[in-house]
Amino acid sequence: MAISRRKVCCSFLSDVFLTYSTVKVVQVPNTLIAIVYRLIQLIIFAYIALYIVWLKQGYQQFQEPRGTSIIKVKGIAKVAGNETIRFVHADQTHLWDTAEYQMPPLENNAFFITTRQIVTYDQTEGDCPSALEDKLFCNSSESDVCPAGQPTPNTFGYFTGNCVPTFENASINVCEIHAWCPEELSQSTQFIMNKDDMENFTIYLKTMVTFTLFNINLRNVRDATNFTCRYHKDNDPHCPILRIGDILDSLNTNKSALLREGGLIEIRQDWTCNFDFHKDYCFPKLEFNVLQSGDDKLSPGINYRSAQKYRINGTEYRTLSKIYGLRFIVAISGKGGKFDIVNLFVAIGSGIGFMVIADIVCDAIFMYIHKYRERYRQGKINVCVISSDEENSDGNLTSILAMQKE
Amino acid sequence: MAISRRKVCCSFLSDVFLTYSTVKVVQVPNTLIAIVYRLIQLIIFAYIALYIVWLKQGYQQFQEPRGTSIIKVKGIAKVAGNETIRFVHADQTHLWDTAEYQMPPLENNAFFITTRQIVTYDQTEGDCPSALEDKLFCNSSESDVCPAGQPTPNTFGYFTGNCVPTFENASINVCEIHAWCPEELSQSTQFIMNKDDMENFTIYLKTMVTFTLFNINLRNVRDATNFTCRYHKDNDPHCPILRIGDILDSLNTNKSALLREGGLIEIRQDWTCNFDFHKDYCFPKLEFNVLQSGDDKLSPGINYRSAQKYRINGTEYRTLSKIYGLRFIVAISGKGGKFDIVNLFVAIGSGIGFMVIADIVCDAIFMYIHKYRERYRQGKINVCVISSDEENSDGNLTSILAMQKE
Amino acid sequence: MAISRRKVCCSFLSDVFLTYSTVKVVQVPNTLIAIVYRLIQLIIFAYIALYIVWLKQGYQQFQEPRGTSIIKVKGIAKVAGNETIRFVHADQTHLWDTAEYQMPPLENNAFFITTRQIVTYDQTEGDCPSALEDKLFCNSSESDVCPAGQPTPNTFGYFTGNCVPTFENASINVCEIHAWCPEELSQSTQFIMNKDDMENFTIYLKTMVTFTLFNINLRNVRDATNFTCRYHKDNDPHCPILRIGDILDSLNTNKSALLREGGLIEIRQDWTCNFDFHKDYCFPKLEFNVLQSGDDKLSPGINYRSAQKYRINGTEYRTLSKIYGLRFIVAISGKGGKFDIVNLFVAIGSGIGFMVIADIVCDAIFMYIHKYRERYRQGKINVCVISSDEENSDGNLTSILAMQKE
């Protein structure tokens, strides 16, 4: 029979607003299955509540901190200086204080401590023989090993094309170069910092971090901090004053190579905070890693060159320093977590979705495995033939049986 | 009756592919409950749609920006210089331009403005009495207060073991030290920058940020930017030119201490962008915080030492500067949000899960509270006894009742 | 009939623990709808499994890397120096090696290469005429254009109030200034680096990144790395040695302006890693962007000033350098993804929620559209009148019909 659209619509409305529809339920008095069913539900629930929400903190929102450090290095060291190559003098000792060994003096979340320095005094632009170490040997007759105007392999200067005796040994001929002379390798003074003095240096590390998401600011230095302390992994993990020696000892690396060739050391400050508790309970954990060791197979150590210029009656001179040292990087990492309604909501909501598993499993057992499956099917299933198509007789069969039962 | 596995399997297939299974529904013509039911559903829906998805932007994916700043400081200041300690001269005034007060001259997302400088000229390595301020008093007889070879407490040098009169006052004996002499504290010149001149300095702050996730680049300086502007929180929040004085005034800190001892100031540039709109609508908000004030109880201010070396006929001399100043850090924070299908999907999907709450609640009412609960149970529940176990008679009872009704 | 609370409670318990409740199902033998139903389910499933979980990696947790770079610039360049303004000399050529052009010599994830330098020698504090270029023309009679004590527009000094002839041309009067004299613009030497030499410079870029979340460390330099290589986008994308010329060529910018005015270039190292595979498969991709070009309409180029002080019998002198150059920033970006149970769980769980769509759709078809909808409703719906209210007769009607059928 045909029904007007209006009829359909109002039947729909009555379904929705005037009558409460609920699913018809079949109760099977079977304790075993009932227990199984509840058990599966329990497992799923426990999994959501305990693992996802609690352990993995599915109810929290996370952010990594951003921070800045103020670093002060304190200490003085004796330095052994000796003129290398060419002339050998008696060693003299020198003194390096912070102003001498910490350069650049001000950096952002990093600092550098010079451990070795090779200084070449009074360099000026001109022509001079290349150093023996460069191994640019030639003999005056054929000078094609010194192609004029070409940069030298170490890029310290350009070949003049001439072949001249070295400073070090007049009997050996090498290519002449146009460069800042004398060349670093042929005449320079080396300064080496005393290892023991250096290990007694202390670092004062003051950090301020921000978790913008939660609008929380934290410092590693609190009012309670005692400035006579020394950082120790276990005994005093919150102390902001670190002894270089302790850091180096905690590193698994070749220390003498590190001090000779320099290296890159990361001071990782890990701020893992749970801001559902009070922020003052959160202190950073320190970790030390060698990012670049002194005996690394590939380009070991760290060094850089810096020149200081000066003029004597119009000619420019410079003092060239090749500086080896320990570069420390303060890396701020970690994550702060705080309750977030969205994450909790999503975790639970999707958990509910999983509950259907229990139904599916138990149903499957009854429908296809249980020895009384037929009776169960009859109880659970009604067949309602709405059209005259005669496919799937089996379906009809069950329906007829079903009707007989009622 | 036993059925072959084949039978089971094909009955399963017919269930799945030939017949459409739907739950049998019981309609209860009860407007009240119906309304309650729909209401609960509505609330859940509204919660998902409005709060989770809309307000908390559950449909967006977020990323924090990464950026770089180019900073130019402009301004000139008069500087009062006077020799402290030992000799007192008439003050002379000096001039500091950018090259004098901004050191290091080039930094990454940071800059430093010198406000005070203590310079010690012509230091050289040698022995000299420690400064009065060090309070290393001794008397020549017992020199165990000056343990030879030990570093001094301030780590400026080593004790020689001798006890000598100070520069400042010949009648007072102090420990002699081997250090860079004269010591900073016993003879140095202090330069103090004029506060008013300094407050008129301007900073030009140009930032480029990237949201790699959305492949979006942004600048705070746009074609529309007018370079005669001055930043003002309310009147001109997009202007890239800031007056130092304005920044200092906006800070809640002791300004004179800040200028005397130095401090660390954070210029936070907050890029909170909704990239579902056009990126040009997104401008950064500026915030200024004192991370390290000049009168901080724990290690106030910021200062560092830098030395300039020079040689006069072979001996090394240096000019030591202790530099106090304002260190500005440009911190780039914020988050860009953009529509993300996964997040939306998850939010809705888990929302649907919550809908079952409505059923559970209404069902509970009918099954256990409503005064016609018995009739409801009979209407809703069929009992299907599939085994011969006689437990839970009550279950059977209802089933019998149910059968009577039908 | 009234039931004691105890009765209710135990009936609840028996429902929960002694009997297994499942929904009563109505099977409609209708292949078409059955297929439609399964199809919708399949689509939803495919969408979750393939798109959300697989393509959008909904099963992974992501983190952005943090890293540090060690950068070494190698190369030597010829430099043309000529005295600008006032005296014109024959050009001399100079040599710049790393120590000359890379300043500051050590930076964090950045480096600077000087391409042009304007040096003013022997500046000292005093009074001198402003430079012609400043265009501070005046005439001795009315000196209100030179307000005594006011800073000059370029903030190089203060007006003395006098009006004096310029150095450059005695017939032109300009304001006299109290500043570091001579002024940069009126007498200085310019050094310009040879473009071709400069393009042959090489950068050695060594990066270590950390994904703290997964506790994974990575380097771009591996044991396999061959140090004779040159980076090339396609041929050798993993080589850590880059030629400056290649970088510049890959940029879409005015190169000569860049070298003359300086600029900011970003070397973006993109670490996009899937740590469900072995971490060694992950190499960074390099990208080069101009953040600040040499011909930018708004404040082009990059330059900074640095002064070197020295004293000649008590008077302070300085050498002022205005330094133009290429500033390179090494930006480390990307994201590492790793399997995360929470994310996978949430994605699937919320997916299940969507399955109900299939039921809703098919049900709607049968209930309101299908031509046998009435028969379907009778088969699917039981009406259970629990109260004596006579509203919604239609509901009752169907119930009566339903009863007749049974």
Q: What is the pLDDT of residues C315-363, one digit of tens each?
A: 889 999 999 999 999 999 998 999 988 788 777 887 777 788 788 888 8
In the structure encoding, which two tokens stand for residue B54, read together? 């809309």
Total number of domains in chain B: 2
- Better-predicted residue by pLDDT, B256 or A298: B256
Residue B267 sits in the same domain as residue B354: no
Residue C284 sits in the same domain as residue C353: no
Chains with ≥3 CB–CB distances under 8 Å to A: B, C
Which of the listed ranges A30-44, B90-104, C209-223 does the model predict with the highest average pLDDT?
C209-223
Residue C308 sits in the same domain as residue C335: yes
Q: Which whole number is the average pLDDT over B177-191? A: 88
In the structure encoding, which two tokens stand for residue B303, read together? 């200062």
Contacts of A359 in chain C (CB under 8 A): 22-23
Contact call for B383 and A204, based on CB within 8 A: no
Transcribe A127-161 into DSSP letters: EEEPPGGGT-B--SS--TTS-TTPBPTTSSEEEEE
Contact call for A384 and C380, based on CB within 8 A: yes
Q: Which whole number is the average pLDDT over C238-252? A: 93
CB atoms within 10 A of CB C39: 11
- Which residue type sits at B110? A
CA of C290: which chain B residue's CA is closest? Answer: B208
Residue A273 sits in the same domain as residue A335: yes
pLDDT at A393: 40
Contact call for B37 and A24, based on CB within 8 A: no
Query: Which of A71, A130, A304 should be substituted to probe chain C, the one whose Cβ sees the most C Cβ atoms within 10 Å?
Result: A304
Asked if the structure places residue C9 within a domain, the reply is: no
**Residue C236 belongs to what domain range?**
66-122+189-339
Nearest to A68 among B151, B291, B350 (CB): B291
Question: What are the pLDDT digits (tens) for A135-187?
Answer: 888 876 665 788 888 899 888 999 988 888 888 788 888 899 999 988 888 88
Q: What is the DSSP letter of A323?
A: E
Asked if the structure places residue C396 within a domain, the reply is: no
Q: Which whole number is the average pLDDT over A189-199? A: 91
pLDDT at A37: 85
- Rounded percentage of chain A residues whose pLDDT exceeds 90: 34
Q: Which whole number is the average pLDDT over C175-182? A: 91
Contacts of B108 in chain C (CB under 8 A): 107-110, 329
Rounded-to-integer distance, Cα A114 and Cα A191, Å: 10
Residue A245 sits in the same domain as residue A310: yes
Q: Which whole number is the average pLDDT over B124-138? A: 88
Kind of pairing between the strands at A25-28 and B381-383 = parallel
**What mean pLDDT is reported for chain A?**
83
Question: What are the pLDDT digits (tens) for B79-127?
Answer: 987 755 544 444 578 899 999 999 888 888 999 999 999 999 899 999 9
pLDDT tier at A294, thresholds 50, 70, 90: confident
Chain centre distance of CA C229: 28
Residue A268 sits in the same domain as residue A356: no
Question: Does position A2 have pLDDT exceeding 70, yes or no?
Answer: no
pLDDT at B76: 93
ipTM score assigned to the predicted complex:
0.82
Of C196, C153, C159, C206, nearest in space to C179 by CA: C159
Query: Measured between CA atoms, how close is B26 to chain A, in angstroms?
Result: 5
Transcribe A79-135 into DSSP letters: EEEEEESS--PPPEEEEE-HHHHS-SS--SSEEEEEEEEEEEEEEEEEEEEPPGGGT
Asked if the structure places residue A389 within a domain, the reply is: no
Contacts of A11 in chain C (CB under 8 A): 368, 394
Question: Residue B75, by phi and psi: left (phi above 0), alpha (psi -120 to 50) or beta?
Answer: left
**Can you tell me whether residue C397 is helix, strand or coil?**
helix
Query: Which of C12, C22, C122 should be substituted to probe chain A, the one whose Cβ sees the most A Cβ atoms within 10 Å?
Result: C22
Number of H helices, E strands in chain C: 10, 20
pLDDT at C20: 79
In the structure encoding, which two tokens stand for residue B325, read together? 């100043």
Q: Which whole number is the average pLDDT over C30-39? A: 83
Of C105, C109, C112, nearest in space to C269 by CA: C109
Question: Does position A291 have pLDDT exceeding 60, yes or no?
Answer: yes
Asked if the structure places residue B351 within a domain, the reply is: yes
Q: Which whole number is the average pLDDT over A212-226? A: 88
Q: Which whole number is the average pLDDT over C77-86? A: 72
Contacts of C110 in chain A (CB under 8 A): none
Asked if the structure places residue C162 within a domain, the reply is: no
Asked if the structure places residue C146 within a domain, the reply is: no
- Better-predicted residue by pLDDT, A384 or A209: A209
Query: Measured between CA atoms, how close is A297 to chain C, in angstroms?
Result: 8
Supply angle C-alpha B120, B124, B128, rounded to 5.
85
Contacts of A30 in chain B (CB under 8 A): 386-387, 389
Rounded-to-integer distance, Cα A357 and Cα C359, Å: 17
Asked if the structure places residue B75 within a domain, the reply is: yes
Residue C363 sits in the same domain as residue C284: no
- Better-predicted residue by pLDDT, A256 or C385: A256
Q: What is the DSSP letter of B279?
A: G
Nearest to A22 among B28, B58, B180 (CB): B28
Contact call for B25 and A23, based on CB within 8 A: yes
In the structure encoding, which two tokens stand for residue C339, read together? 């399997």
Residue C366 sits in the same domain as residue C302: no
Name B180's bridge partners.
B125
Where is average pLDDT lowest: A370-374, B9-13, B158-162, B227-231?
Answer: B9-13
Supply angle C-alpha B137, B143, B147, rounded to 5.
95
Asked if the structure places residue B29 within a domain, the reply is: yes
CA of C396: which chain A residue's CA is closest? Answer: A19
Instruction: Tell me whether the omega of the peptide bond preceding residue B105 falls within 30 degrees of 0, making it cis.
Output: no
Contacts of B268 in chain A (CB under 8 A): 210
Query: Measured between CA atoms, how close is B43 to chain C, in angstroms?
Result: 18
Residue B352 sits in the same domain as residue B229: no
Query: Measured between CA atoms, how close is B72 to chain A, in angstroms?
Result: 18
Contacts of A221 in chain B (CB under 8 A): 298-299
Residue B247 sits in the same domain as residue B359: no
pLDDT tier at A390, thresholds 50, 70, 90: very low
pLDDT at A5: 67
Residue C36 sits in the same domain as residue C88: no
Q: Which whole number is the average pLDDT over C255-284? A: 92
Question: Does position A193 have pLDDT exceeding 80, yes or no?
Answer: yes
Of C348, C284, C282, C357, nearest in space to C54 by CA: C348
Query: Which of A17, A106, A321, A378 should be substituted to probe chain B, the one whose Cβ sees the most B Cβ atoms within 10 Å?
Result: A106
Last residue of one domain, picked from the residues A319, A339, A359:
A339
Name A242's bridge partners.
A203
pLDDT at B87: 43
Residue C113 sits in the same domain as residue C225: yes
pLDDT at A386: 65
Q: Which whole number is the average pLDDT over A364-380? A: 78
- Better-predicted residue by pLDDT, C402 or A252: A252
Counting every residue written for chain A, the total comes to 406
CATH for A213: 2.60.490.10
pLDDT tier at A51, thresholds 50, 70, 90: confident
Query: Which of B62, B112, B312, B384 should be substituted to probe chain A, the one whose Cβ sees the most A Cβ atoms within 10 Å?
Result: B384
Contact call for A329 and C68, based on CB within 8 A: yes
Contact call for A395 and B19, based on CB within 8 A: yes
Where is average pLDDT lowest: A138-147, A349-358, C179-188?
Answer: A138-147
**Residue A399 parent element (H or E):** helix A393-405
Question: What are the pLDDT digits (tens) for B53-75?
Answer: 788 777 888 888 989 999 999 99
Put the strands of the sheet holding A25-28 in their side by side order. B381-383, A25-28, C20-23
Q: Which residue has the tokens 């000056």?
A: B146
Question: Does position C393 have pLDDT exceeding 50, yes or no?
Answer: no
Nearest to B206 among C34, C108, C299 (CB): C299
Which of the listed ranges A29-33, C57-61, C217-221 does the model predict with the highest average pLDDT?
C217-221
**What mean pLDDT is reported for chain C?**
83
Contact call for C353 and A349, based on CB within 8 A: yes
Query: Measured between CA atoms, how close is B228 to chain A, in angstroms?
Result: 31
pLDDT at A355: 80
Put the strands of the sheet holding C60-63 in their side by side order. C60-63, C336-339, C273-274
Contact call for C155 and B342, based on CB within 8 A: no
pLDDT tier at A97, thresholds 50, 70, 90: very high
pLDDT at A178: 92
Contact call for A320 and C66, based on CB within 8 A: no
Rounded-to-integer distance, Cα B357 and Cα B37, Å: 10
